[in-house]
Structure 1
Amino acid sequence: MRWILRYGLAVLMIISMTLCAAHAETEGICRAVEQGIRLHVDGMYGGYPHSVLRDAVLESVDCPSGAAELQAFHAIAVPPPHMRIAVMRPTGQGQQGSLSVMLFSQGHFVIGERMSLSPFSRSQSPFSIKADINLATARLWDDLAKRIAQGKPIIP
């Protein structure tokens, strides 16, 4: 009986971790730039399913496009960098929410952006955060390009 409890619990933990890992999958984005970026979407948006939030994020990420942004991206492009976007908007009308975008390269933090959700985003479906995500990721690439232009190291 102890054997069943001990190993049954271990098997149950492995199964639950596998299910959680499926929820925390990464997506490939910006594939036209170098080898692309691996994206991980985290968080919650007022009771909506995580898949709806993930779809909204995937449709709104800004990729590096200007010459300076592409030059900065090239410095961290191999292996493909990892971007983590976390959106938090508590359930309830008018609740303040936040958005965090972090870029990692070779396991090291490179740069990040954090902002509050716009008033429009706080009261609508997850697809209303598209402009906020686009703005945050555009700022991230611009800040990274400025860091390169100033001669600062890519990975602080």
Structure 2
Amino acid sequence: MNVTIKREQANSAIQIARYGVIILSLVCMSSRLAQADDATDDICKTAGQGIRLHIDGTYGGYPFSVLREAVLGGVACPSGALQVQAFETIAAPPPHMRINVKRPLGQGRQGTISAMLYAQGRFVIGERMSLSSFSRTQSPSSVKADINLVTTNLWNDLAARVTHNKPIIPQ
């Protein structure tokens, strides 16, 4: 009899642990999804309905909010006639851009920036470059020029597809 009670208690403890892990997982996932929604910004509203921007990355131990402000301050929007023409072909529904900045801790350490554009559920184009030597040694605000360069290159490469009669969204 005593053994049966201990088995029932053990089974109950196992079930409580299982359900506890499931509930904890759901709570953690829902809070991460809410953070992801908060991390998107609408940019380039003068071009179509604009672009949904997602910012990821780290910048040498600085708070993410500082990096986010630097990225928002440096993003280039489509501006030339060919850039706008290329953008208009993918503007509905609004495309998504993901910018990722990685700068390890420590002065002078190499870092990277990547910008990827997605439209209509598909990858359109991406650019990647190393951080400039200035950005590798300064605060996150110094990365604005690098962000501007990588996004300008992205729009120029997208416009080149119009010039060469290539599809804007690769097949």
Class of the TM-score when normalised by the shorter of the 2 chains: over 0.9
Superposed, 1:9-24 pairs within 5 Å as 9-24=21-36
Counterparts of 2:85 and 2:160, CA distance in 1: 11
1:50 matched residue in structure 2: 64
What's the CA shift for 1:2? 3.0
* Counterpart pick for 1:33 among 27, 40, 47: 47
Counterparts of 2:41 and 2:15, CA distance in 1: 40
Counterparts of 2:65 and 2:20, CA distance in 1: 31
1:128 matched residue in structure 2: 142
Q: What amino acid maps onto 2:97 in structure 1?
A: M
Q: TM-score, normalised by structure 1?
A: 0.95
2:53 partner SS? strand
Aligned-residue CA RMSD (Å): 1.2
What's the CA shift for 1:124? 0.9
1:66 aligns with 2:80: yes
Residues 50, 18 of structure 1: CA spacing in aligned structure 2 closer, same or farther, 3 A cutoff? Answer: farther
Q: Percent identity?
A: 62
What's the CA shift for 1:11? 1.9
1:3 aligns with 2:23: no
2:117 matched residue in structure 1: 103
Q: What amino acid maps onto 2:132 in structure 1?
A: S
What's the CA shift for 1:106? 1.2
2:91 matched residue in structure 1: 77
What's the CA shift for 1:115? 0.4
Q: What amino acid maps onto 1:7 in structure 2?
A: Y
Give CA-to-partner distance per residue, 1:118-137, whole Å, 9 cap, x none.
Answer: 00100111111000000110
2:4 matched residue in structure 1: none
2:160 partner SS? helix
Q: What amino acid maps onto 1:19 in structure 2?
A: S
What's the CA shift for 1:19? 3.0
What's the CA shift for 1:27? 1.1
Counterparts of 1:12 and 1:107, CA distance in 2: 31
1:88 aligns with 2:107: no
Residues 88, 142 of structure 1: CA spacing in aligned structure 2 closer, same or farther, 3 A cutoff? Answer: same
Q: Which has the higher helix share?
A: 2
Name stretches of at least 5 consecutive residues in structure 1 with no aligned partner: none
